[in-house]
Amino acid sequence: MIIGGAQENTLFNCLDLKRLHGDDVMLVTGPSLGPEGDLLTQGRAGDLSIHEIASLRRNIHPWHDHFAHRALRRVIRDFQPDVVHTHSAKGGLLGRMAAYQECVPAIVHSIHGAPFHPYQSAAARFFFQGCERRAARWCHRMISVADAMTDLMVDAGIADRGKFCTIYSGMDTQPFLDAHQYRESTRATYGLHDGHVVIGKIARLFHLKGHDDLIEAASAVVAACPAVRFMLVGDGILKDELVSKIRNRGLSDHFIFTGLVPPSDVPKLIGAMDALVHTSYREGLARALPQALIAGIPVCSYDIDGAREVVRNDETGYLVPPGDTGQLAKRLISLAGDADSRRRMGQRGRELFEKQFRHQTMTREIRDLYVKLLENQVR
């Protein structure tokens, strides 16, 4: 339960099921290891029942995985759930296998992002696809956070299309609707004034997140629009490397690193932005995209996975081919230089997506799926 979109999705779903629908819910997780922070230490879980399995780790480790699987079977046997709903590649594989072996009536898996992608070796991709095909046989339905994820899984032969449905990842939309209230104070905190045009990026400083591409495009953007400032929200193992690249290009005055921030601060930071850029090479549907649009901020994103389901060219922002830093720079220059277009596209994004991405909407649709699966089992 690190600080991340899939984790927030899971927590909202568990809390809504308990608080809004009166269900008996247990959240089973491994330890939150790594620099991303722990979502559960912020008190957001309330009175939710949480069971941590020490051996349930993010990376593949046969010894840990063996004991995690055994522990999951014990938890399921003791709790006797009607539904097991898994998230993430590791949790999805071990959790679905354990639930299947314990004959759980309804087994559901959410796909936030596929564990296989074109930037892996062929052997790794083959291995992960094989794992997903096997795990798909151990569940009754799979939830995609974007239609694009279903297309990806079906094209890879993971399961037939009928086994998938799309339910967009929910969030608390109100703080993003109110984000503009924090614009002046947040900008002042980072030494920004009204004349600056702030382009933000919310992502771990990690591989395949596209920070290198943004830095490359930034040279042209700054040359055309010297008032631009890039705000990088997040932390990770690549920070020192990125700082060095920015310094070598003479762009240090144009980049701001906020470091790791709690989710409650993300709306304030988005409120300080004039546009959001998303250059990740793989992601189901990055929550930062609808978050920015709900806040009335236009986005420029690589055309990957589910991005096109919220980013509409010249309506809510711009889509750019992955890796095309020239086109990326061109679109960012266009956004930076046209305040009227930014307002128009941001307002359109808010109109389109505020209701669609409410966490209450997500949980209602997920719970309806649970009930349908259980009714089918009775019949």
Burial string for 216-252 (b: 16+ CB within 10 Å, else e) reads bbbebbbeebeebbbbbbbbbebbeebeebbeeeebe
Q: Sorting pLDDT into bands at 50, 70 and 90, what band is 378?
A: low
| Residue 18 reports pLDDT greater than 90 | yes
What value does the mean pLDDT take over residues 276-295? Answer: 92
CA distance linking residue 337 with residue 59, whole number of Å = 44
Residues in the chain: 379
CA distance linking residue 16 with residue 10, whole number of Å = 10
Paired strand residues for 87:
110
Model confidence over 54-84: pLDDT tens digits?
999 988 889 999 999 999 999 999 999 999 9
CB neighbourhood size of 65 (10 A): 17
Paired strand residues for 230:
199, 255
Burial string for 76-113 (b: 16+ CB within 10 Å, else e) reads beebebebbbbbbbbbbbbbbbbbbebebbbbbbbbbb
Q: Which fold has domain 5-170+358-378?
A: Rossmann fold (3.40.50)
Angle between helices 211-224 and 325-336 (to 10 degrees): 50
What value does the mean pLDDT take over residues 182-198? Answer: 95
Looking at the chain, the number of H-run helices and the number of E-run strands are: 14, 12
What is the value of pTM for the model shown?
A: 0.84
- Using alpha carbons, list the distances in angstroms from residue 45 to 8, 109, 174, 345: 10, 21, 19, 35
- Using alpha carbons, list the distances in angstroms from residue 46 to 39, 49, 119: 12, 9, 39
CB neighbourhood size of 175 (10 A): 21
Model confidence over 221-243: pLDDT tens digits?
999 999 999 999 999 899 999 99
Q: What is the CATH number of domain 174-353?
A: 3.40.50.2000
Instruction: Indicate if 174-353 has the same CATH topology as 5-170+358-378.
Output: yes
Domain ranges of the chain: 5-170+358-378, 174-353
Task: Find how far residue 2's CA is from the centre of its chain.
Answer: 12
What value does the mean pLDDT take over residues 301-325? Answer: 94
Three-class secondary structure of residue 25 per DSSP: coil
